[in-house]
Structure 1
């Protein structure tokens, strides 16, 4: 089981630079998601990852996170095939967040 110990207070984030397809990094919009299927704030904080090292944890609502490419972005919806969910993200480079 992973345990994250906060090293700094959370800050709101709305974009993340990640590589969903190998060799194809892209900026994505990110939002928190709730069990009532509504967006909420996504936040990032520097954490100690179970003694494995320091990383940035990105978390959202009680249903995790929703992401979509910045290019061609649309309103947040579960039935949009260009959008996907994640329970949380671990980001190594803090410059990959905005």
Structure 2
């Protein structure tokens, strides 16, 4: 079964080497955001989308780190504390 690809064209205004503003058409491949690696983020054409996705990726890493920390603590706590930690993990996962 072949993989579907979605292509698009985006018109943008850019400054050329002479300092003049010209309209440029950029051809892009549309991909699901969850398939992007960190290095792919720099290739996002829309600057606002790139900023949103980059900031979200940074926040995602922070949350995953917090979850991992709580999971490590689970092995060292009492049953009552375990319930609290599991609630914190669940809160972070669905933030």
Normalising TM by the smaller chain, what interval? under 0.3
Task: Select the structure that is richer in strand.
Answer: 1
More helix per residue:
2
Larger radius of gyration: 2
After TM superposition, the score normalised by the length of structure 2 is 0.25
